[in-house]
């Protein structure tokens, strides 16, 4: 399963609703993800630019995208972003493959190896 990080910010209305009716969102999110074939690894709340982060495992990008769209379209969030995460082994494999890629930067005439 691939790993994904969801970063989110709640709307003021969502915060107001949670203040009036506190609930363990981790349980609800875990159940929703399980119904989609994904797993909640952990949910954190934060201070700063984002209100929280969720680390999930999903079988593929399509599933993760579907979950992201469903959550983001709920209207409960002022921001919602998804990042695909790589393990250390995957990052090393990508770095090795990058050595075989040639790229011509904008404004240049020749491609150069990485």
DSSP string, 79-101: EEEEEEE--HHHHHHHHHHHTT-
- Tell me how far apart the alpha carbons of residues 63 and 57 are, in angstroms, rounded to a whole number: 10
In a domain, 109, yes or no: no
pTM score, whole prediction: 0.82
CA angle 32, 33, 35 (to 5 degrees): 70
pLDDT of residue 113: 66
CA angle 81, 84, 88 (to 5 degrees): 140
Tens digits of per-residue pLDDT, 29-59? Answer: 999 999 999 999 999 999 999 999 999 999 9
> What kind and span of H or E run contains 58?
strand 52-58
Query: Residue 83's domain is classified under what CATH number?
Result: 3.30.70.920
Place of tokens 């599933």: 63
In a domain, 104, yes or no: no
- Expressed as residue numbers, the domain containing 80 is 2-88
List per-residue pLDDT tens for the chain, 114 residues long.
Answer: 999 999 999 999 999 999 999 999 999 999 999 999 999 999 999 999 999 999 999 999 999 999 999 999 999 999 999 999 999 999 999 999 998 888 888 888 776 666
């Amino acid at each position: 399963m691939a790993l994904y990080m969801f970063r989110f910010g709640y709307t003021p209305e969502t915060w107001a609703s949670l203040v009036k009716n506190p609930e363990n969102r981790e349980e609800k999110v875990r159940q929703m993800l399980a119904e989609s074939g994904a797993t909640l690894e952990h949910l954190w709340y934060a201070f700063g630019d984002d209100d929280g982060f969720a680390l999930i495992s999903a079988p593929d990008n399509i599933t993760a995208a579907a979950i992201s769209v469903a959550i983001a379209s709920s209207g409960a969030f002022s921001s919602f972003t998804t990042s695909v995460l790589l393990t250390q082994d995957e990052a090393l494999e990508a770095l090795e493959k990058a050595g075989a890629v040639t790229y011509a930067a904008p404004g240049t005439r020749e491609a150069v190896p990485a």
